[in-house]
Structure 1
Amino acid sequence: MLGTVLMVMYGVRYPGADQKECCWEQDATPEWAASVTGLRVPDTAVDRRAGLHSNMQYDVVLLAFTVRTEEADKFLEPLRRQGTQMAHNRHPEAPGYTRGDGFSHLGLPEPETLVDGMRITSVCPGETKTPESGALRLCAKIQAHEFQPGTTRIYVRADSDATIEKPA
């Protein structure tokens, strides 16, 4: 059992070529991902991307979109615990790092490799006393990367060891 768990963990962290293409649902849309996670994507969001990766251990929903930094801050504020700040990426992965269930599948850099302008938080349903947190359906790791002044890409990774409903 331990050997199987270690092999799966190694495969996620250091995926082979076949693992990078395996297990992705073809019909995952940003609207579907927002619905599954319970997040309301700002209407002004552009470059919306989504994915669903399923394996024997867990399912991962990915959602990414780009907004003005001011809008990103409004999106993030009700998802943070009161009195907390978002963390910075103090231990980045090396450039070129990929995951078998990562954002590189969506044509984006893995947020774990980004440092400048990167902020990180996580939230679970009901963890903050806001309607946004109450609407969450899965725990999510949220990363916000201001990749150019005034423009931020939001990365959302939500996973579940229960099967997530597949897109229609």
Structure 2
Amino acid sequence: MSHSEVPAGAGVRKGSWRRRLAVGAAVFSGLCVLGVLGTLLMVMYWLHNPTESQKNCCWEQNVTPAWTANTMGFQVPETATDRRAGLHTNVQYDVALLAFTVSTAETDRFLQPLLREGAQMARNRHPEKQGYTRSDGFSHFGLPEPETFTEGMRITSVCPREAKSLESEALRLCAKIHAHEFQPGTTRIYLWAGSDAPLPKPPN
């Protein structure tokens, strides 16, 4: 057989091999994408539906409201009652939490120096369902998660030196703030601050 002659069907076999390779590559890529999406969905599910062991995991001992307020850089009103605090640590980030109750008038005096000029607190227009918990949330110390409330709820976030005030200068972490007037004239303030860098641990 001369070099110019090509066996019958050779082109078909060659094209078929390439098609099978392309199909195999596409299937493999699809499986990889599905695997990543499945992992993300599982992580999101665990964050929104933590198990009992996850709820109790990774909370530091000896955490006090005074220590937490100092770590976050907040000046808690002296009139505050029902003070609760926690420090949650994991390999990705640390979270400091602080909650307390004050009069609504005292709430405004506490919040105003922390807000940028002209900033307004938002309403919770997309609440979580009742019973919602998270592994690094306020339910750890017996409070409903603030994301579940709409009535009387105001939300904002603050960072150090955003406002021209001594209170803003004193902040050490960016924080999410929920202020919930759960009864007329009385508000519970929730402060949640996450940090990619490890936060200091309370003394034993």
TM-score range, shorter chain: over 0.9
List gaps (5 residues or longer) in structure 1: none
Matched, 1:18 2:37: no
Comparing both structures, which one devotes a greater share of its residues to strand? 1
Matched, 1:84 2:119: yes
Q: Which secondary structure state, in structure 2, belongs to the residue aligned with residue 156 of structure 1?
A: strand
Q: Which secondary structure state, in structure 2, belongs to the residue aligned with residue 32 of structure 1?
A: helix
User: Which residue number in structure 1 is paired with residue 92 of structure 2?
Assistant: 57
Larger CA Rg, structure 1 vs 2: 2
List gaps (5 residues or longer) in structure 2: 1-35
CA distance in 1, matches of 2:58, 2:199: 13
User: Which residue number in structure 2 is paired with residue 119 of structure 1?
Assistant: 154
Structure with larger RCO (C-alpha < 8 A, sep 6+): 1
Aligned residues: 168
Matched, 1:75 2:85: no
Residue from 36, 39, 44 that aligns with 2:71? 36
Comparing both structures, which one devotes a greater share of its residues to helix? 2
1:16-75, Cα deviation, whole Å (9 max, x unpaired): 111000000121110011000000000000000000000110000000000000000000
Q: Percent identity over the alignment?
A: 68
TM-score by length of 2: 0.78
Residue from 177, 187, 191 that aligns with 1:142? 177
Q: Which secondary structure state, in structure 2, belongs to the residue aligned with residue 26 of structure 1?
A: coil
TM-score by length of 1: 0.95
The runs of at least 4 aligned residues of structure 1 exceeding 3 Å deviation read 1-10
